[in-house]
Amino acid sequence: MDFPSSLLDALRRARHVAALTGAGISAESGVPTFRDAQTGLWAQYRPEELATPQAFRRDPALVWNWYEWRRSLVRQAAPNPGHLALAHLEDRVPRVSVITQNVDGLHHRAGSTRIIELHGNIARTVCFDCRRQVESWAGDSRVPPHCPACDGLLRPDVVWFGELLPRAALAAAYEAAQQCDVFFSIGTSGLVEPAASLPFEALRAGAVVVEINPQATPLSDHATYVLRGPSGVVLPALLAAL
Ligand code: BJW
Ligand code: ZN
């Protein structure tokens, strides 16, 4: 795979690289993206319609079971060469910030050290009412189980549409976008705010912005470089070219 020499130079000079990742980076690990049609049991639902507090209020068991199914997919999944290449970029660049919209924890398992999780993590469970984090609900076979503290319903510790992103994570993401030399947007459709604004923030601040995605997105016409292809192929090739 050939890369523009100006891109390789920018990466070799970079002191701080930020990478915004979306569901596409985990696709090659077997974790389905959001805007792909779902399969099997879930084929009749659109993820956008399940990932909301309204959906949870309407049918908590449906939403809980959907997350149980996704938790089982994530448990079986392993980081792919794209996650691993981002982790290894830390050997080349003094500071690498991984800003992820994913809730699957695969960047941690790949060994990245500076990870900003914008939309939470599916492995954690909190109470819908009192927001306490709950570690165990052994013996409670209700679906969803109830909060030991207030009897509210338990839910995954993720950010649904209409909910606020964790304040510290969002602040750290903006800071990384504004301070990095090179900003990657990898495997995200760029449709969901506020994450979708981060590459534009980086552009405004003068960073080189690189999109890695097999498909065009609203960012494509604005990015400094567009690398069309799966991130599990493009990222390792880019690292090797460095
Ligand atoms: C590959 C590949 C391979 C495939 N290699 N690539 C401003 C304007 C309009 C609306 C809003 C706005 N500000 C806020 C809103 C409302 C809303 C929003 O953005 N709506 C839009 C849909 C219009 N945002 C919110 O509500 C956010 N909260 C908020 O802003 O609070 C304040 C506020 C509220 C209300 C109004 C105004 C302000 C919260 C957003 C939370 C998103 N939550 C989810 C679920 C998380 C939990 C879970 O996992 O279940 O996050 S939804 C879902 O979308 C998930 C994802 O993180 C997120 C982004 O999706 P992503 O990662 O981009 O995946 P896909 O599937 O869309 O794309 C995959 C891409 O991969 C594709 O491009 C493929 O081509 C590519 N790909 N294979 C590389 N091998
Ligand atoms: Zn509670």
According to the model, what pLDDT value does residue 48 have?
84
Report field, pTM of the whole predicted structure over 0.75: yes
Provide the token pair at 187: 């495997």
Nearest to 88 by CA among 158, 19, 151: 19
Q: Which of 34, 36, 69, 191 to mutate to test the pocket of ligand 1 (most atoms within 8 A of CB)?
A: 34
In order of 79, 139, 207, the CA distances from 12 in angstroms are 25, 54, 14
Ligand 1 center to residue 28 CA distance, Å? Answer: 19
Interval between CA 125 and ligand 1 midpoint (Å): 21
> Residue 152 class from Cβ within 10 Å (0-12 exposed, 13-18 middle, 19+ buried)?
middle
Q: Residue 119 catalytic?
A: yes
For atom 64 of ligand 1, the residue with the nearest CA is 23
The answer to whether residues 79 and 110 touch, using CB atoms and an 8 Å cutoff, is: yes
- Do residues 199 and 20 touch, judged by C-beta distance below 8 A? yes
20 beta partners: 99, 185
- Please tell me the distance between residue 15's alpha carbon and the centre of ligand 1 in angstroms: 29
Quick one: pLDDT at residue 177?
A: 98
Pick the catalytic residue: 83, 88, 108, 119?
119
164 CB near ligand 1 (under 6 Å)? yes
Q: To test the ligand 1 pocket, which listed residue (116, 157, 161) has its Cβ within 8 A of the most ligand atoms? A: 161
Rounded-to-integer distance, Cα 180 and Cα 209, Å:
10
> Distance between CA atoms of 218 and 132, rounded to whole angstroms?
37
The pLDDT of residue 40 is 67
How many residues in the chain? 242
For the chain, residues with pLDDT lower than 70 are: 40-41
Instruction: Please give the angle made by the CA atoms of 218, 220 and 226, to the nearest 5 degrees.
Output: 155
SS3 content of the chain, % helix, strand, coil (to 5): 40, 20, 45
Predicted confidence at residue 47, as pLDDT, reads 87
Q: How far is the CA of 150 from the centre of ligand 2 (A)?
A: 4
Ligand 1 probe mutation, 1, 33, 52, most atoms within 8 A of CB: 33
54 CB within 6 A, ligand 1: no
Q: Which amino acid appears at position 222 of this protein?
A: H
State the ligand closest to the CA atom of 211.
1
| Start-to-end CA span in the chain (Å) | 12
Atom of ligand 1 nearest to the CA of 162: 26
